[in-house]
Amino acid sequence: MRGRTRTLVPGAALLTAAAMLISSCSSAIPDSGPGPAKIAFVPKIGGIPYFDAMNAGGMLAAERLGAKWITRAPATVDPAAQTAILRQLIAERVDVIAVAPNDPADLAPTIAEARAKGVHVLTTDTDAAGSQREVFVNQTTAEGIGTALVDSLMKKTGGAGEYAIISCGRAAANLNSWIEAEKAYAAQRYPRAKLVETVYADEDTTTATKMAKDILNRHPKLTGLIGQCTTATPGIARAVRDQQKIGQVFTVGTGTPQTMKPYLVDGSCSMTVLWNVESLGYLTAWTAEQLATGTPLRPRNNVSPELPAVRYDAATQTVLLGDPLLITQNNVDQFKY
């Protein structure tokens, strides 16, 4: 491990720099030592607060570790865009690719190609199970997310009523695992609640808003909406606000705090369930550095002062950030992204 650690201080200046990195689709931190590991971060899409925050955490970790961090963000969620980026990175002979796959199955052959060329590959935020990725950096468990979302919604609806889910990509492995966890938990714990629809907005908030309004029109008895990703969650809250359904239809989801603050304040969203996104980016860069240097992961890893006991499961090759955060209007200002 290179460099010394210092206190993590996420802030507006860091996020501004991160946003510039993502919007340009390719940039890097200057080398801070001889032969730094070159780590390439490939998010699902550029220009959204969630991946800006991940990028900020990754930049900070790379600076601490003496690694070189670059970001290549696709302009769309078309799987072919990520494939093209990975092939370019393979040609550039980066040391590690850290990718959040839009379509894990579609990306698997390109991951295999990278490994055959000696490029390390880890997945982050979303896994590509069955591929040749070496590690998955997971934010939290599917059960943790699913339980938190369902409980927070049912607390508002009295454990009953009709609800719908608006997700992003149909092939997003993490989102699909959360949906399955939610269905199973709701069926067991809240038998009087009924899931009426699950639809997909493809990482587009405007589409999510339109879909939510259409669902509200199709299901006049609807009492709840779950936003399964950080672009769908503000979309469903906006739909409830626009349709003047605040207090009648309740929404929860996985939204970034400052994006969701206006909706939390006016009651169009009851709760957002997330994790420290900057810490997820930090952990991603740290894990990539371990791969680049051949450092074995341990059952518990002292990553930083903020992440002193990160668990690693060797059976699934998964690094786990931790438990989800429950964000309401009362604590939303603790998070600056």
- For 133-154, the pLDDT digits (tens) are 999 999 999 999 999 999 999 9
Q: Find all residues with CB under 8 Å of 92, minimum gap 6, and list them.
A: none
Residue 117 has pLDDT above 50, yes or no: yes
- Determine the pLDDT at residue 115: 98
CB 109 within 8 A of CB 131: no
At residue 335's C-alpha, the angle toward residues 332 and 337, to 5°, is 115
Q: Which residue has the tokens 């865009």?
A: 81
Q: What average pLDDT does this structure show over 328-337?
A: 92
Does the pLDDT value for residue 124 go beyond 70?
A: yes
Average pLDDT value for residue range 193-209: 97
Which residues, other chains included, contact 331 with Cβ-Cβ below 8 Å and sequence gap of 6+? none
Tell me the DSSP string of 154-173: HHHHTT-EEEEEEES-TT-H
For the ranges 6-15, 63-72, 215-224, 301-310, the lowest mean pLDDT is seen at 6-15
Q: Say how many C-beta atoms besides its own lie within 10 A of residue 243's C-beta.
A: 15
Res. 35 pLDDT band, cuts 50 70 90: confident
Domains of the chain: 12-140+276-322 (3.40.50.2300), 142-274 (3.40.50.2300)
Residue 99 CA, distance from chain mean position: 11
CA 216-126-206 angle, to 5 degrees, is: 30
- pTM for the whole structure: 0.84
Contact 161, 225 (CB under 8 A): no
Instruction: Please write the tens of the pLDDT for every residue from 312-326.
Output: 999 999 999 998 999
Q: What is the mean pLDDT of residues 207-218?
A: 98
**Separation between Cα atoms, residue 59 and residue 68, nearest integer Å:** 9
What's the chain's average pLDDT? Answer: 91
Query: Is the pLDDT at 18 greater than 70, yes or no?
Result: no
